[in-house]
Amino acid sequence: MKLSLLHLRTAALMGALAIHPAPSGAQVSASTDATSKARDSATQDPAIVPTGRLAERWWAARHQRILAQLADHPDAQLLLIGDSITNNYDKADPPNQNFQPIWDAYYAPRKALNLGFSGDTTANVLWRLDHGEVAGLHPKLVILLIGTNNTALGQTAQQTEEGIDAVIKDLEHRLPQTRILLMGLLPTALPSREVNFDVNDYLGGHYAGGEDPLVSYIDVSVVFYTFGQLDTSLFYDPTLSPPRPALHPNTVGQRLMASAIEPDVARLMGDTPVKPSSPATPPPQHP
């Protein structure tokens, strides 16, 4: 990426310094456009620049495991793509992080693959797509939940929105027959929560009305609120030591989320909705 930016800047600089015959109006416009493109590329939105995390051993190892799973499960019908909230379905640690039973109930019977990576942003998802994580697959549905780490890292609502748009366009290019269930960012107690609201407003305005026939949008934020207040008992972060702001749904919260999107999942996959089971006993409140 550095070389690319350097070449662009050098090309723009040489174009400005070179001596040419007096250009026509069209040539002036073309020169201005080239300089503008070089400048825009140099300040490109980080949310749309594919970025790997191979320096993190666990991340590189998980990427390799995903690629191996593709070879073993070419008939996968459902892909869940996202960050730690999706990655958490691999956990089975009761009571707060017992997510494997939820996966087994809602997704495993649908030949699902978990493509969630803790800490990922839209840029990381774009890199993973570029490096084969959906290659050769023909799923019926992708459930996409991404963007919370963008805003948590200080990216603006517009940058995050552009990143999500880029992921959707990439998926549509690679999986042209696949439906996408786009989830709004989940509520959080992080300082970025207000930016998340803006992102969800944008996503609802651009994807909820059927503007893109391959994309359905759902915002399940309401299941995490009680009497207008964020119900932090549905997140496991406050129970950690030291306590952290609510961000990751706990066992109960994750089951509520899965149940809330289930009617849309079944509709888009053309199968029978899973009947919600009785919720687990809520974990004890953190004092």
Choice among 11-20, 101-110, 170-179 with the minimum mean pLDDT: 11-20
Q: Is the N-terminal amide bond of 242 cis, ω within 30° of 0?
A: yes
276 falls in which pLDDT band (50, 70, 90)?
confident
Which tokens go with 46?
A: 């980080």
Cβ partners under 8 Å of residue 35, min gap 6: 12, 15, 16
Residue 255 has pLDDT above 90, yes or no: yes
For range 128-143, the mean pLDDT: 98
- pLDDT for 192-251, tens place per residue? 999 999 999 999 999 999 999 999 999 999 999 999 999 999 999 999 999 999 999 999
170 membership: H or E segment, kind and range: helix 157-174
Which tokens go with 62?
A: 């998980």
For range 182-192, the mean pLDDT: 98
225 membership: H or E segment, kind and range: strand 225-226
Distance of alpha carbon 58 from alpha carbon 121, whole angstroms:
16
Q: How many residues does the chain have?
A: 287
End-to-end CA distance of the chain: 48
- pLDDT for 54-78, tens place per residue? 999 999 999 999 999 999 999 999 9
For range 130-135, the mean pLDDT: 98
Q: How far is CA 28 from CA 8, 16, 24, 159, in A?
A: 19, 11, 6, 31
Cα 215–chain centre separation: 14
pLDDT at 84: 98
Mean pLDDT of the chain: 87
pLDDT at 26: 40
pLDDT at 158: 98
> For the chain, what percent of residues have pLDDT higher than 70?
81
Distance of alpha carbon 140 from alpha carbon 113, whole angstroms:
12
| Best CA proximity match to 261, nearest among 211, 227, 209, 222 | 222
pLDDT at 278: 55
Residue 27 has pLDDT above 70, yes or no: no
pLDDT at 287: 38
